[in-house]
């Protein structure tokens, strides 16, 4: 027996349909998922710092409490920034002597990406193909008891192209 054409409206999207309830399976699923959700929002998945919904991994939990990724990253940035230059050099004993400041540089890169300081072009000449994080005052010139957050402060970080970076690090080579 041929199917009768009804002028019914879809319960989800409101389009005309020959089916008495829905125009397609997608609308039926969407409608039923709203009425009968499979999971409810659980209060145990709320970040303890900001209260947003999160799905924490075991590494993001602090003292067994769920933390969203942003709050966890902020805590790690603060925690790492409270260390001193001397502590990080002592932790970097496996590095060669020229790489002893590598953890401080990596922290500066992470910090600039997190806070949006990173620039896509050289802040001296405007070259936009490649930029590097550079410290205006060299890491070496700070004392060992200086906090890493002071070394990687916004005032001391600049993004330069490789040529301008070399010029800043080697001012005597240019006869200045």
Looking at per-residue pLDDT, the higher value among 9 and 6 belongs to 9
pLDDT band at 158 (very low <50, low <70, confident <90, very high): very high
**Residue whose token pair is 């060299």:** 138
Angstrom distance (rounded) from CA 137 to CA 141: 7
Contacts of 144-148 spanning 24+ positions with Cβ under 8 A: 144/84, 144/85, 144/86, 144/89, 145/84, 145/85, 145/86, 146/84, 146/85, 147/81, 147/82, 147/83, 147/84, 147/85, 148/80, 148/81, 148/82, 148/83, 148/84, 148/85, 148/88, 148/104, 148/107
Q: Answer yes or no: is 155 within a domain.
A: yes
Angstrom distance (rounded) from CA 94 to CA 34: 56
Angstrom distance (rounded) from CA 71 to CA 169: 35
pLDDT digits (tens, 9 = 90+) for 85-136: 888 878 776 655 557 788 888 888 888 888 888 888 999 999 989 999 999 9
- Full domain range(s) for residue 23: 1-37
Q: Answer yes or no: is 153 within a domain.
A: yes
Tell which residue, 142, 156, 149, has the closest CA to residue 86.
Answer: 142
Q: Answer yes or no: is 50 within a domain.
A: no
Q: Answer yes or no: is 98 within a domain.
A: no
pTM over 0.75: no
Q: Answer yes or no: is 142 within a domain.
A: yes
Q: Answer yes or no: is 74 within a domain.
A: no
Kindly tell me if the per-residue pLDDT of 163 is higher than 90: yes
Q: Answer yes or no: is 6 within a domain.
A: yes
* DSSP per-residue codes, 126-152: ---S--EEEESS-GGGS-TTSBHHHHT
pLDDT digits (tens, 9 = 90+) for 18-59: 888 888 888 888 888 777 766 655 556 677 777 777 765 555
The pLDDT score that the predictor gives to residue 42 is: 52
Number of folded domains in the chain? 2
Lowest mean pLDDT among 58-62, 79-83, 167-171: 58-62
Q: Answer yes or no: is 16 within a domain.
A: yes
């Amino acid at each position: 027996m041929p199917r009768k054409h009804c002028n019914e409206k879809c319960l989800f999207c409101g389009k005309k349909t020959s089916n008495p309830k829905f125009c397609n399976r997608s609308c039926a699923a969407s409608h039923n998922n709203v009425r009968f959700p499979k999971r409810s929002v659980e209060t145990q998945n709320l970040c303890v710092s900001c209260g947003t919904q999160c799905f924490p991994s075991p590494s993001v939990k602090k003292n067994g409490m769920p933390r969203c990724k942003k709050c966890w990253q902020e805590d790690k940035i603060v925690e790492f920034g409270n260390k001193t230059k001397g502590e990080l050099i002592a932790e970097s004993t496996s590095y060669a002597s020229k790489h002893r400041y590598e953890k401080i540089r990596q922290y500066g890169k992470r910090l600039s990406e997190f806070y949006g300081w990173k620039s896509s072009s050289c802040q001296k000449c405007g070259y936009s193909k490649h930029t590097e994080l550079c410290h205006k005052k060299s890491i070496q010139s700070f004392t060992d008891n200086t906090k890493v957050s002071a070394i990687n402060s916004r005032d001391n970080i600049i993004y330069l192209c490789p040529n301008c970076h070399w010029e800043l690090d080697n001012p005597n080579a240019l006869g200045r």
